[in-house]
Structure 1
Amino acid sequence: MKFFLDTANLDEIRQARAYGLIDGVTTNPTLFSRESGDWRTLAEKICRETPGPVSLEVIGQTTAEMIAEANELVKIGPNVVVKIPMTLDGMAAVKELTAQAIDTNVTLVFHPLQALLAAKAGATYVSPFVGRLDALSQNGMEVVEQIVAIFKNYDFAAQVLVASVRHPLHVLEAALCGADVATIPFAVIRELSRHPLTDKGLETFMKDWEKVQK
């Protein structure tokens, strides 16, 4: 399973890249709003720093607006993937952008039927938001499992990109059900490596090594 970093923060991207743990980056307007400076300049830097695809989101609501904006976004970097909202206008935009060989990431997916529409439209990635579903007392990972099964049934090329990841268990469940990608906040990526028994084991080894050196 590929790991994308869900951030617009360059320091986080550089750290995760140094760990060898990221295959791409996803951004959205909210993430850019947390950073200082011009968003386009920052997006250009993110594209240069990222060893894989970078999702940048359109703001337009109509099909024509989304297509026009997508054609501007791809000029930011060769690895740009255009995020398109899960609407009927969005699906029409995905179909046209796919015909133009522009990669797309359909965002704000909350139901398997929405994912089915996105895949039929030709999306490169389909992003179910598990954390937001869980917050409404719905089972976000069950939705992911259903999407994975549907895509396998019909051999869709679209990749399942698990989004709105809130904790390490989401990552584990995404991997177990066969999702292609999880986009993960930096804080959660750091938690993936941690376990109290690992810490205890390292502490014991270091103390024993000190005895050996005496």
Structure 2
Amino acid sequence: MELLFDTANLEQIKTYDRYFPMTGVTTNPSIFKAEGKVAFFDHLKRMRELIGPERTLHVQVTADDAQGMIREAHAIHRMVDNGVYIKVPVTEEGLAAIRALRGEGVPITATAVYSQIQAFMAMQAGANYIAPYFNRMENLDIEPRETIAAMRQFIDEAGSDSRIMAASFRNMAQVTSALLAGAQAVTVQPKLLHDAFGMAAIAKAVEDFKRDWTGVRGDTSIADLTE
């Protein structure tokens, strides 16, 4: 399983990388909007410095035609590095761009996926990752679990190297559902992860354990017992 952070916020990346086994970071134009009018390429370089070359960085193009997408992909690689995964929406023009870019060896994350046919075509075009939008699918009355399960079955039966990276989550129950349905990766807003570990029941359990220990040992810790 791969866990990616769905953010472009440098402080969030630094903070939550301490706690969670993050394997990469995903961005899109809406995520960058939340950061304000930052120096785009400088910001991406700082993100790369934070996560290092061994983890994946995914950056979405903004053009809506194949040639524009290809041009933007080349610019991202030229200005950041050739390891950046280029996120391409799975439209007809997007599929043309994916095919051309994969022919050049550019790593691709196929995004804005709502249907099985989009996923199948993206896989055939050579996309490395396929990103179905879980919560947005639910909002459109599309069953995301069945859709992801069908995607995974098709990938496995075809012997494809494409991986499902589920995205667009409102809560951790959706994240778990995506993984159980067959997604090999999920990209999640760090705050969603933070909130999941802030449950009152978890804090209560930790407090009870500590009280039971100190009731017998006082302020003496386990490490203190070795001295």
Q: Which runs of 5+ in 1 are unaligned?
A: none
1:167 to 168, 171, 176: 171
The list of structure 1 runs, each at least 4 consecutive aligned residues, that deviate by more than 6 angstroms after superposition, is none
What CA RMSD, in Å, does the superposition of the two structures yield over aligned residues?
Answer: 1.5
Superimposed CA distance per residue, residues 79-131 of structure 1 (whole angstroms, 9 cap, x where no aligned partner): 31001111111111111111111101111010011100000000011110011
Change (3 A) 1:34 1:195: closer
Residue 22 of structure 2 aligns to a residue in which SS?
coil
Residue of structure 1 equivalent to 2:19: 19
Residues 8-87 of structure 1 mapped to structure 2, 5 A cutoff? 8-36=8-36, 37-51=38-52, 52-75=55-78, 76-87=80-91
The code of the aligned residue for 2:203 comes to D
The structure with the largest alpha-carbon Rg is: 2
TM-score of the superposition, structure 2-length normalised?
Answer: 0.89
Once the two structures are TM-superposed, the CA of residue 191 in structure 1 deviates from its matched residue by 3.4
In structure 2, how many angstroms separate the alpha carbons of the residues matched to 1:160 and 1:125? 6
Once the two structures are TM-superposed, the CA of residue 197 in structure 1 deviates from its matched residue by 3.6
Residue of structure 1 equivalent to 2:99: 95
Once the two structures are TM-superposed, the CA of residue 194 in structure 1 deviates from its matched residue by 4.6
Contact 2:166 2:186 (8 Å CA) reproduced: yes
TM-score of the superposition, structure 1-length normalised?
Answer: 0.94
Which has the larger displacement, 198-207 or 95-104?
Answer: 198-207
Contact 1:83 1:106 (8 Å CA) reproduced: yes
How many residues were matched structurally? 214
Residue of structure 2 equivalent to 1:210: 214
Residue 74 of structure 1 aligns to a residue in which SS?
helix
